[in-house]
A and B are shown apart, each in its own frame.
Chain A
Amino acid sequence: MEELMTFFKNRIADAQKSACDLRADGREDEAALEQIRGNIYGIFVSVIETGTTHTGSPEELKSFFEKNLERIPSGWVIARDKARERGDTVRVVQEEVKLNAIQEIRDAYRQFCGDAS
């Protein structure tokens, strides 16, 4: 989990820098999308921190993380599909940013912690 935590912190720093650069370049909305991306990694830093405090073994921590990795984005797919139905492209893109970040988190979890979730 330590490597995963480092990965998340790096991704948060990347997103923050990217948001800063975009803002300085006069691209406020794209900066906001980067901010959203960074926030998703931030949520999973909190998941690991909470799991570390409230679980007793590495296996329990992994199970706690996997449950949250399924639970947290479950509403985002529905939100994206509903936004697509009503032609709300702005919301679709925001939800896709979140879902892309989740996919990256799944891939990183698989890479660093060995399990496919």
Chain B
Amino acid sequence: MTEQEAVALFKCLADKSRLQILRSLAQEDMYVELLAERLNLSASTVSFHLKKLAEIGAVTSCKSQYYTMYSLHREVFNQTILSIIAQKPDEAEIQAQREITWKKKVLDSFFDKDGKLKTIPAQRKKRLIILEQLAQAFEPGKTYSEREVNIIIADYHDDFCTLRRELVDEGLMQRSDGTYQRNIQAS
């Protein structure tokens, strides 16, 4: 478990409702409605907490015939707290984590909640992160006409011409004979 994962785990556990959910799941696997009834919480509140618990790997889910059953991920809880805090973070991991956090911050500030690009960043480093994100909208190996590329980019921002050119200039997409392909090596 990385230091970041440990922080997320402890933060997530610092909630009475979530501890009650985990206590119930420690006894037996359950579905949302049953947990809600037992804990006197609304089903949506239980789903909310289960989603947070699933994000840190504390619970797992599987679809049964009618319901999604939730289980405690016992491996996470079989570790001692001492073993978690005693793990030394390595420098490369810290650096990688910083990079991920920074990229997320850039994406959050330039994309709105509906996934639209608010503005094209002026700074090249930030623009590259945005372009890498846009490149994900294209299937690797698939050939797109210029019109198709424009339509896809227009879902994110009106200035699709600039963004299309930048994707090519930054090596994220290749253009040949008027058709485009995502450059897999670069993204």
Q: Chain A interface (Cβ within 8 Å of chain B)?
A: 25-30, 33, 78-79, 82, 88-90, 92-93, 96
Q: Which residue of B lies closest to A83 (CB)?
A: B113
Give the 8 A-B residue pairs with the shortest CB-CB distance, closest first: A89-B51, A26-B16, A93-B48, A93-B44, A89-B47, A27-B16, A27-B17, A90-B51
Interface residues in B36-57 (C-beta closer than 8 Å to A) = 44-45, 47-52
Q: Chain A's nearest CB lies how many Å from the CB of B89?
A: 26
Q: Chain B's nearest CB lies how many Å from the CB of A79?
A: 6
Which of chain A's residues have a CB closer than 8 A to the CB of B52? 29, 90
Are B15 and A89 touching (Cβ within 8 A)? no
Which of chain B's residues have a CB closer than 8 A to the CB of A27? 15-17
Given contacts A79-B113, A82-B114, contact A28 B15 (CB under 8 A): yes
Number of A-B contacts (CB under 8 A): 38
15 A-B Cβ contacts within 8 A? Answer: A25-B16, A27-B15, A27-B17, A28-B14, A30-B17, A78-B114, A79-B114, A88-B51, A89-B50, A89-B51, A90-B51, A90-B52, A93-B47, A93-B48, A96-B44
Q: Chain B's nearest CB lies how many Å from the CB of A86?
A: 9
CA distance A79 to B114 in the complex (A): 7
Q: Chain A's nearest CB lies how many Å from the CB of B44?
A: 5
| B43-75 to A contact mask, C-beta < 8 Å, 1/0 | 011011111100000000000000000000000
Are A29 and B16 touching (Cβ within 8 A)? no
Which of chain A's residues have a CB closer than 8 A to the CB of B51? 88-90
Q: Which residue of B lies closest to A75 (CB)?
A: B114
Which of chain B's residues have a CB closer than 8 A to the CB of A88? 51
Are A30 and B14 touching (Cβ within 8 A)? no
CA distance A93 to B49 in the complex (A): 10
Q: Which residue of B lies closest to A100 (CB)?
A: B44
